[in-house]
Structure 1
Amino acid sequence: MLDPVDMDIADSDFLNNQFDNGDSSDSDIDNYCMSFTCKNRLFGRQKPLHVVLGAGVSADIILWRNKQISGYIFMGATLTWLLFERTGYNLVVFVCHASLLSLTALFLWSNLGSFIYVSPPEIPETILPQHLFMRTAISLTATYNQALRSFRHVVFGTDIRDFLSVAVVLWVLSVVGRLCSFLSFLYIVFVILMIVPALYDNLEDSVDSFAEKALIAINKQYAVLDEKVIQKLKKSVISSKSRKQQ
């Protein structure tokens, strides 16, 4: 029998499509899970990409499994970026104009409704459940604490690789920030989020194989750098400290 933890490893969509005829056994599902987890996946993940992204509506949108909704969201984000970034339309001006247009339309509708025999729409009240804010606050707190733990690990740790990785990422973000505005940066992140996971989902095996080879090459180069540069710097620092103590 398949353990419930292992069931989380299997892609629900795969199981629904492949094992919905009722002829498969638990051993077939176990073999699928085992064959998946035995492969070398990017960043060492052990779950399908759809499961990693939440296995819900958001994952379907990011992976374009619901092409209609994904297309609408992508077009909406693109039009928003073109409206505020390329045409120079200000957000405050847009909100004021939209509010003024809505206010005028509703005012005329409510006063002229008796002539057109159409009653104006009712504006509903929005009621958000309290547990939604609690879950959001707990999730944000956990994410903040995890970021602080990662920061402490890099700052107070001894792994130079982690320090260099974070430094390179921050430097790249600073370069991108100088080249584009914050809205353009958010749009670029959105486009990458909508394109890269979908491409990776379709070319998963090829990308994983290439990434594994690239990681091996990077580790070899880092080993050479560590041997010829980093270790020598450490030895020089230790020797200089010992001389000062003497």
Structure 2
Amino acid sequence: MAGPTEEAPAAAAAVSSPKSGVSEERASPAAAARPRGFWPFGEDKSVHKALGGAADVLLWKDKKISAAVIGGATVLWVLFEVVDYHLLTLISHVLIGALAILFLWSNATVFIKKSPPDVPDVQISEDLAVNIALALRTDINRALGLFREIAMGHDLMKFLGVLVALWILSEIGSLSDFLTLTYAAVLMLHTVPILYHKYQDKVDDFAAKAHSELCKQYKVLDAKVLSKIPRAAAKDKKQN
């Protein structure tokens, strides 16, 4: 008689919480225990968490802002690439139009007896400037540290990876100009994350197989070629 009483709570737990939807299904132990060889964003990190503050825009949660970003990028690309407008000319014309409208509006309020435009006093705070500088400092130091580690000959895998990445970047740059690449990056940022979020399980499974195969091929390459290349010995750091 102990069997039915033990199975009942399990069955009740399986059908309970009907409002949880997909989020609880993904967070269930069965889903979390699935064997994965490769997780693009970490085992406990979703796409929304990986994107941070830009998640609502890139995943089209806020459709108005997402559409405005795509529309603005498209307008700029058409102006600079199709109409052959120039950046300095565009900035000058926009500032001329804005200043002329505000100046005429401010002076017209004397005759139409309405309140002048409320132009905000915008200033960059010291905290904001310091935070931006610190963020840039951290990223630049990390990049410099990576280049130094590669230049010292300590990590052959990173050396080959950076060479391939730079070569791909140079080939892409030779096929198109910077503005077109920026516009393509904006379009990809507004399409790839939401597609990955929609088909995450299939993409992760494919990435796990590809990652496993790459690891096998790298082990073969390392055993036959890379391990025979002499490398610079890593110097021990001096103890203070």
TM-score range, shorter chain: 0.7 to 0.9
Equivalence for 1:182: 178
Q: How far off is 1:199 after superposition?
A: 1.0
Q: Cα distance 1:98–1:33, how it changes in 2: closer, same or farther (>3 A)? A: farther
Mapped partners of 1:166, 1:37: distance in 2: 34
Mapped partners of 1:39, 1:63: distance in 2: 27
Deviations 1:170-189 (A, max 9, x none): 01111111222222222222
Counterpart among 17, 20, 27 of residue 18 in structure 1: 20
Deviations 1:127-177 (A, max 9, x none): 333222222222221112222222223222443222111111101111111
Structure 1 gap segments, 5+ residues each:
1-16, 20-27, 238-246
2:43 equivalent to 1:43? no
2:141 equivalent to 1:145? yes
Which range is displaced more, 158-167 or 107-116? Answer: 107-116
TM-score normalised over the length of structure 2: 0.75
TM-score normalised over the length of structure 1: 0.73
2:54 equivalent to 1:52? no
2:119 equivalent to 1:123? yes
Equivalence for 1:65: 61
1:107-122 matched pairs, under 5 angstroms = 107-122=103-118
Deviations 1:110-133 (A, max 9, x none): 333334343431322113332222
SS of aligned partner of 1:135: helix
Q: Cα distance 1:118–1:39, how it changes in 2: closer, same or farther (>3 A)? A: farther
Report the AA paired with residue 101 of structure 1.
Answer: G
Equivalence for 2:224: 228
Mapped partners of 1:164, 1:76: distance in 2: 38
Q: How far off is 1:64 after superposition?
A: 1.5
Aligned residues: 210
Deviations 1:187-219 (A, max 9, x none): 222222221111111111100110111112222
Q: Cα distance 1:32–1:133, how it changes in 2: closer, same or farther (>3 A)? A: farther
Q: Cα distance 1:36–1:51, how it changes in 2: closer, same or farther (>3 A)? A: farther
Mapped partners of 1:49, 1:191: distance in 2: 17
RMSD value, Cα: 2.9
Counterpart among 170, 190, 197 of residue 194 in structure 1: 190
Report the AA paired with residue 55 of structure 2.
Answer: A
Counterpart among 70, 86, 96 of residue 100 in structure 1: 96
Equivalence for 1:209: 205
Q: Cα distance 1:143–1:231, how it changes in 2: closer, same or farther (>3 A)? A: closer
Equivalence for 1:240: none
2:83 equivalent to 1:83? no
- In terms of fraction of residues, the more helix-rich structure is 1
SS of aligned partner of 1:43: coil
Mapped partners of 2:171, 2:182: distance in 1: 15
Report the AA paired with residue 39 of structure 2.
Answer: L
Q: Cα distance 1:36–1:71, how it changes in 2: closer, same or farther (>3 A)? A: farther
Structure 2 gap segments, 5+ residues each:
1-18, 232-240
SS of aligned partner of 1:118: coil
Report the AA paired with residue 49 of structure 1.
Answer: V
